[in-house]
Structure formats: structure tokens, C-alpha cells
Structure 1
Amino acid sequence: MKFLYVISFCFLLSLCVHRDLKGDSNSRGTDIIDEWGRLHPDVKRWPSSNGWKGFKNVADKVHGMGLKFGIHLMAGISTQAYDANTPILDTKTGKAFQQSGKVWHAKDIGIPGRACKWMDKGFMALNVTTDAGKAFLRSLYHLYTSWGLDFVKLDCVFGEDLDVNEITYVSQLLKEFNPSIVFSLSPGVRATPNMARQINGLVNTYRVAGDDWDKWPDVAAHFDIARDFAAAKLIGAQGLNGNSWPDLDMLPFGWLTDPGQDIYIAFFNLSNQARTIYAKLDALAKVLPGRKLKGLQGREVWSLKSVTIGDALSARVVPHGCALFVFDY
């Protein structure tokens, strides 16, 4: 398995980089956009993006390490582009998109009344039924795929923000630009099996729950969701590129009690899907005060694979399986 390096949407925002700016990641007017209203990385955080180069240099570096590269995007159009009423790029002509003698702009396609539920100041839906809306998405993904993406995680487009039109068109664009790109949706607050049936042939993975942190209410919320999707026979249902998986999010142990952790790992083993477990070892050192975990030699019991603890340790676990690492210290 080649592991994935994914850049979160927040690292595109100045507010996540320049701490002297007031506001939070949901504040409007802090995105880095080009003349066509497309988001770009902040050059203070990503110096190699200077000159509108985007993540091309980062992707090349990641690929050189044998890893896959992906980005986390927000659906629709940014409020900043809407406020600036930027023109829409027509990738066929290299000029502003025109139709019926009219030059189309962001305010012609943005829908302020359908703001992203969890980032309502920053993003809104766009009208994908118009040719101008499609032109905007085409220009967006033409740019992003040129950076060398292997993975796209699209947010604010499923569950309570469901937009089948945008999911459908983005899926078509990714197949056209690079069919090997893995297409994922997130989050899935209030997602239903009926919603999943509409999109599971268009995406590779789709979140069916909200963000999952190390709090028992977050854990408990997963039980009914998993039951409903299992009853609908959607766990591992046939879909895009052979399989389209409902995603129950991560396995955060952190501050869960020991019984809570036991219940959670048992629950995920019942979900009949592969998992990648990742541990941040400098945090694990808090469990063993005074002992250094980094640099220890050991083995994975069942595969007998020799491993050395670095900054992090991860394992891909098959359905109903587990990985056990033993280290001497």
C-alpha cells in the first residue's frame, strides 16, 4: 500500500497561516484566489506555490518519496470570489466565459441562500445546471489536477449539504482529467442510505457521519448510522471503480476510557471494511513517562515484519483483522 499525504483545506487560508489576522477559518475575505476566483495555497505557508504554481512542486516531492498526494476542497464557490464577482475562465478559449453575448461572473452562478452548513461565511453552492457553473468547475479541476493529484476529498456536498449535480459533474471531470484519482466526499452529517444510492456510483468513498473525535457522544452516534447502512447493504457496495465505501471516519482513542476504546475497536471490526490505524508516538510517550518510544526495534506479530518506531506508526488492517506490534524497551 502506498500511503497518502493529504493537505487540509485550512492550509489554503491566510487565517490558518497568519496568526496576526483576526477571525477564524470560517471568516470571509481571507482566501487566496486568482483572477478567475479559484483558490490557491497561501505562499507564506507554501513558498513553492509562489507565482501561482499551486501544489505542483509539493506533489512532485511527495511522489518522489513514493507517496500519493491529495487535497481537501470545499464544494461550490468561495464567498470571496462571489463578493469580488470574478469572471469565469473558459478553458477552451483561455478567456472569460461568454454565452449569448454575456460575460459570466461569480454572482451569476453562486447561490448565497445555500451556504455550506459548517462554513457558512466562506462557501456557498453554485448552479451547476448552467453552462457557466460547469465552466467554473471545469476550470477549477483543470487547474488542480494539473498539480498532480491522486486524491480529492470534497467537502460540503453530501449529507445535509447534498448536491448531486456537483458530485456528478466533478466525478465526470476527474474521469476525464485523470481516471485514477480517488474521489471522496466529506462530511456526511445526516447522511442516509437513500442519499448514498444516488452517489455511490460516482465516488470511491463517502463519509456517512460527522467529524469523529475522542468523545463518547461522537462514538455513540456511529452505531445507528452503521446499522442503517449495513441493513441497506451499502457496506462495500459495488460502485465507482469496483467499490464505493461508506466511511465511518477515524478511530480516535485519545481521551476515551479504556472500556470506550474496547467498544470502539470492536465496533469497527464489525463494520466489515479495511482500516488504516495511525498512532502519533510522541503522544503515546505520555502513557509511559520517562521512557522513549522513538527508535525502538520490534516486529508485527502475525506478519513477522520487522519495524522501527519513528515519529509515527501505522498499519493497514483487513476486515475483522488486527495488527499487534511488540517492542522491547
Structure 2
Amino acid sequence: MAVMPYLEDLTIRLASGVAALPEASRQRHAQFLLAAQREDGGFAGREGGSDLYYTGFALRGLSILGELYGEPAERAAAYLQGRMHEQETIIDFLSLIYGGALLEMSAGLDIYASTAAPDWRRSVADALERLRCDDGGYAKGPEGRASSTYHSFLVLLCLQLLEMPLPDEAGLIRFIRSQQRDDGGFLEIRAGKRAGTNPTAAAIGVLRILDALDDDTREATIDFLAEMQNDDGGLRANTRIPFSDVLSTFTGLLTLSDLDGLDEIDIVAARRYVERMECEQGGFYGVELDDQTDVEYTFYGLGALALLTATE
């Protein structure tokens, strides 16, 4: 596996790009994210109370903005500590573990010091391994029978952050390679009909982490992602969806950047699209017709601008 965990490396890359954005813009988005923090220290989505998923994105956003410290960070650490012994989905596991890593990186807070059992990391790794299917990939849940490209990526990210080994690297590589279609994109599940931007990003993430990316895959993937750019400059999730979204734009840009393929799309148009998704009061919308911002899309918007700024 890579020397530095993938997500920690990504955080540093994005923070470098975000630092080049105007100070007023950075402060506006930081205040938006901080306003989403609830009394228990967690962060909410568009409505309701604290949620691990949205807490993870808020912490990612604050971290790349250089604003994850002090009382907000301490309150977030307490929230994560309170969730460590609950049964969580794989997505929430990642939010918890990555949130802990960000708090340690940015604020020097160790959420495991006083609450985690000595074998907590091993227990989590064992739980993740129970999601492995015969084809080498990982399912979305314990009852799942179909491997998911995205959830296989999440398992790998979790294991990296936990500093636990991946039991069968060759099996996971075989599964990921089997998901690639003739158009160069990757499927989310084998029964899927169309490759998508986001599973393609996840697949390339796995192959890069495991040092299993070859030139043919790289070139085919660049061609696929270039075709996902719409006239509005953003990237769409797949060929059946006519509109762009900030999530697909971020994951597509990140993957093209990793593959040295950003010059295959219209960078200027992509930046215009992301900037249109930016709310003057702070935060980002998810799609053109959206009327509400949230912390998840704010991270994706900031991340996309960071990647685009790095090309200037």
C-alpha cells in the first residue's frame, strides 16, 4: 500500500489548493461549515441533528480550510468518541475513522486515547473483512452478496487509516479490473448497465493505492472521464444523466489529476461551473436546480476549486 494513507495525502493536496483561494471566500465557507455544528459536537446535513456522515464532510472541509482547531475541534472529538462503540455502516465507519485522523492531524486530538478498547482497530478490521465476497471485492453490508466498487474502496481506505493489512490484495485487484467496461469506465456493481464517474474514481483509487494501475487502464479511463464533461463545464454521474453535479465534478477532476489527464477537459469551463455552484453566503449547491447548500457539497466544491487552482 502507499506510504502515506490516501486520504491524508488528499487532505494535504487539497489544503494547498484551497490556500490559494481568496481569504474572504475561505472565511465564508468556514463559517458556513461551523454553523452546521450541533450542541453534541457533531454536524448536520440539510436538516435534523448530528450525523456521522455529514460530520465527516464538515471536518474534511474545515481541515482543508485550516480551520479545524480549538473548541469546535474538541467538541467534534467528543462526538466521535461517543460513537465509537456503536454499530455503524461502512460509510459511517470511514467517517468516524477519517474524522479521528483529521482531528489528530489538524488539532492534535486523539479520539482513541481514552475510549477505544485495545483491540478496537482489530475488531473493526475483522468486521470489514466479513463484507468480502468470493470475487475479491466487498459488499455494502453483511447480508450483501454483490461486491461494490465504491464500498471496496471504502474498506481499503478504512484499513489504511487503521494501519491494518488488506488480507487479499490480488483478489481485490482482480475484482476492480473486472469492473471496467469497454468505454473505459467502471461499474459500481457487476449487474450494472453503465459505468459511472464515481465508481470509476473509486476504482482508480484502489488501483493507485495498490500500485496496480497500468497505462492501458489509465488512458481508457481518461477518455471515459473526458466524455463525462457537459456543455456547462461540470461532469455528470453517467451517460444517462443529462446534468452535471458537484460530486461527480470533484471525483472526476481528482481522478483526471491523478492520471495526468486534466488537459483532456475544458478546465476553464469546469471552474466556471463550480463557481456557479458557490453560494454567496457560504457553502455550495449540489446541482444547478438545487436551492439549498450542505456540508457535503461544500467539501466537494472546495475540493474541486483546489484541484482547478493547482492547474493555474
Mark the structure with the bigger radius of gyration: 1
Bigger proportion of residues as helix: 2
The answer to which structure, 1 or 2, has the higher relative contact order (CA under 8 A, 6+ apart) is 2
Bigger proportion of residues as strand: 1
